Amino acid sequence: MCSPPELVNFNPTSVYIPKGEGYGGVTDRLHFLPGYLAPLALNITNHFLSKASFWIKASRGANLEKLLKIYFEETNIPVGFFDHVAFTIRAEGDSSSWGPGSGFAHHSLSEFKVRPKYMSEFHDALETCVQLKLKARKFFKVTN
């Protein structure tokens, strides 16, 4: 809905995810991370297949988000958070296994024939972007 924070605002040693998207762990949908950290941060499969301790924790009913949290903790990757600027959608006729998406259709989405998957994400992104726009107006106040 609006631009994400500039990368200079992030700690260069951490992975960043949107606030409120942990689902008991670390979201798998969106990460901002420095390039040098990508091979380690994205190598969960090797860790999962080679570490018995990871298998034991995973067998306790962990979802992907919980597995990512365990993985980041075991590999000492710090996780930071930023305000939502985007949200997950579902298009008309989408054949995914997701639910039908929210019954709510915002006027700004109607031309694209999509609906938010999670209303909380949509509202959080909308709030973040409105606040950013208000801050920008105050900063760039035009006088006649």
Expressed as residue numbers, the domain containing 98 is: 89-139
Domain presence at residue 68: yes
Same domain, 71 and 98: no
Q: How many domains does the chain have?
A: 2
Same domain, 15 and 60: yes
Least trusted range by pLDDT, from 23-32, 116-125, 134-143: 134-143
Size (the chain), residues: 144
Instruction: Show Cβ contacts of residue 30 under 8 Å, excluding neighbours closer than 6 positions.
Output: 17, 18, 21, 86
What does the pLDDT average to over 53-68? Answer: 79
Same domain, 27 and 54: yes
Which pLDDT band, with edges at 50, 70 and 90, does 130 fall under?
Answer: very high
Please state, in angstroms and as integers, the Cα–Cα distance from residue 73 to each residue in 77, 98, 105, 125, following that order. Answer: 6, 29, 38, 27
Same domain, 75 and 16: yes
Same domain, 93 and 32: no
Alpha helices, DSSP H, located in 6-106: 38-41, 44-50, 52-58, 64-74
- What pLDDT, in 10s, does the model give residues 65-119? 888 998 999 899 999 999 989 888 887 777 766 555 555 567 777 788 888 888 8
Domain presence at residue 63: yes
Note the pLDDT of residue 48: 82
Same domain, 27 and 51: yes
- Rounded-to-integer distance, Cα 132 and Cα 68, Å: 30
- What pLDDT, in 10s, does the model give residues 5-52? 888 889 999 999 988 767 788 888 888 999 999 999 998 888 888 888
- Rounded-to-integer distance, Cα 63 and Cα 131, Å: 33
